[in-house]
Amino acid sequence: MKFASYRKHGRPVFGLVRMDGLVTLSGKIPNIETLRGAIEADALVQLGEIGKSLPADESIDGASYLPIIPDPSKILCAGANYREHAAESGKSEKAWPGFFIRIPDSLVGHQVPLEAPASSIQFDYEGEVAAIIGKPARNITEAQALDHVVGYTILMDGSVRDFQKRCISAGKNFQNSGSSGPFMLTADEVPDPVKLTVTTWLNDQQVQHAGLDLLIHSIPKTIAYLSTIVQLRPGDIVSTGSPAGVGHARNPPLWMKAGDRLSVEVSGIGRLSNPIVAGPPLPA
């Protein structure tokens, strides 16, 4: 099954994704209004069955999408986790997964504009597969890790490279610099996430393409490692890192700018697409 988060009549809701449209599920079970709430209640199967019996009430193309989990407690992102990307970035492979934190305000939903910051021209793209945690995880093993994943989505880890050199948190958390969604594909439909592929386009140019078999640290290893550091909670997002082909490693560099469109597709999940607009101007 696939689920989405979006606005309906100005209210944040979530729903089941079907071929004929979206079926809004907020409130169909008492006290469950968000996708995170449905995950926390372990109610996705029940809600999916409810959604199959109801008429679609929202267009897939016309929906006002939110980030797939608008209110996660954590967004944890693996860094330099593809061998070719680590090499093009001049980074050596580590024995453990490196990671950084993104704040929810840095992400927008599908088709919502990304903001090219006024303070930098070095606005870079990074298309990624992300796992969504389905049940609490603390000090789990790699063998247990996928049992704690409820689904997979797409994350575009927009990076402002010159600010990232000053401080990784700064470069990774500009307002409206990244996106997630449009859908979450439930884990039962992804028996082996290694077989997923990610492809990124800037306008009409394909700029990234790789399978998750090229990860340095697998999804189970990354989740297990993170669980030794923090309590992973339902709705938390763990992004797996970006393949080679990023803009800063090209000659000349390839930066996103106002008027561009950035799209990321993951096999089986769908395509996340966002126009680029100019962010608010700096003060005079």
pLDDT value for 158: 98
User: In whole angstroms, what is the distance from residue 251 CA to residue 238 CA?
Assistant: 31
Cα pseudo-dihedral 26, 32, 37, 39, rounded to 10: -80
Q: Based on the domain organization, do 267 and 206 belong to the same domain?
A: yes
End position of a domain, from candidates 65, 92, 112: 65
Burial class (CB in 10 A: 0-12, 13-18, 19+), 217: buried
- Report the pLDDT value the prediction gives residue 91, as an integer from 0 to 100: 76
| Co-location of 34 and 166 in the same domain | no
What is the distance between the alpha carbons of residues 131 and 237, in angstroms, rounded to a whole number? 6
Residue 284 belongs to some domain of the structure: no
Q: Domain for residue 234, yes or no?
A: yes
Domain end marker among 65, 86, 113: 65
One domain for residues 226 and 256: yes
- Residue 283: inside a domain, yes or no? no
Task: Name the domain boundary from 65, 85, 116.
Answer: 65
Q: Give yes or no for residue 254 having a pLDDT over 80.
A: yes
Eight-class DSSP state of 253: -
Sign of the alpha-carbon torsion through 226, 229, 234, 237: negative
H helices present in 53-194, as ranges: 83-88, 142-145, 161-166, 168-172
pLDDT of 92 above 80? no
Task: Please check whether residues 57 and 86 belong to one and the same domain.
Answer: no
Q: Do 21 and 106 reside in the same domain of the chain?
A: no
Helices (H) and strands (E) in the chain, counts: 7, 19
One domain, residues 128 and 241:
yes
Assigned domain for 153 exists: yes
Is the domain of 142 the same as that of 173? Answer: yes
φ, ψ of residue 145 to 5 degrees: the values are -60, -45
Residues 26-41 have pLDDT tens digits of 999 999 999 999 999 9
Q: State the pLDDT confidence band at 122, using cuts at 50, 70 and 90.
A: very high
pLDDT score of 103: 98
Residues 125 and 181 in one domain: yes
DSSP state of 252: S
Q: Are residues 144 and 57 in the same domain?
A: no
User: CATH no. for residue 84?
Assistant: 3.90.850.10
pLDDT given at position 72: 97
**Rounded Cα gap, residues 169 and 167, in angstroms:** 5
C-alpha 180/C-alpha 114 separation (Å) is: 11
* Same domain flag for 264 and 137: yes
Domain residue limits at 35: 2-65
Q: Are residues 186 and 262 in the same domain?
A: yes
pLDDT in tens, 136-145: 999 999 999 9
Average pLDDT, the chain: 96
| Cβ–Cβ under 8 Å, residues 154 and 120 | no
Instruction: Quote the percentage of the chain above a pLDDT of 90.
Output: 94
Tell me how many domains the chain contains: 2
Measure CA 276 to chain center.
Answer: 17
**Side-chain half-sphere exposure of 176, counting CA atoms within 13 A:** 17
Please compute the mean of the pLDDT values over residues 164-189 and round it to a whole number.
Answer: 97
3-12, 51-60, 85-94: least confidently modelled range: 85-94
**The pLDDT of residue 86 is above 90:** no
Query: Is 168 inside a domain boundary?
Result: yes
Q: Is 204 within the bounds of a domain? A: yes
Asked whether residue 149 is assigned to any structural domain, the reply reads yes
Do 15 and 47 belong to one domain? yes
At residue 87, does pLDDT exceed 90?
no
Mean pLDDT of 196-207: 97
Is the residue at 70 inside a domain?
A: no
- Alpha carbon 94 to its chain centroid, in Å, reads 23
Pick the residue with more confidence: 92 or 222?
A: 222
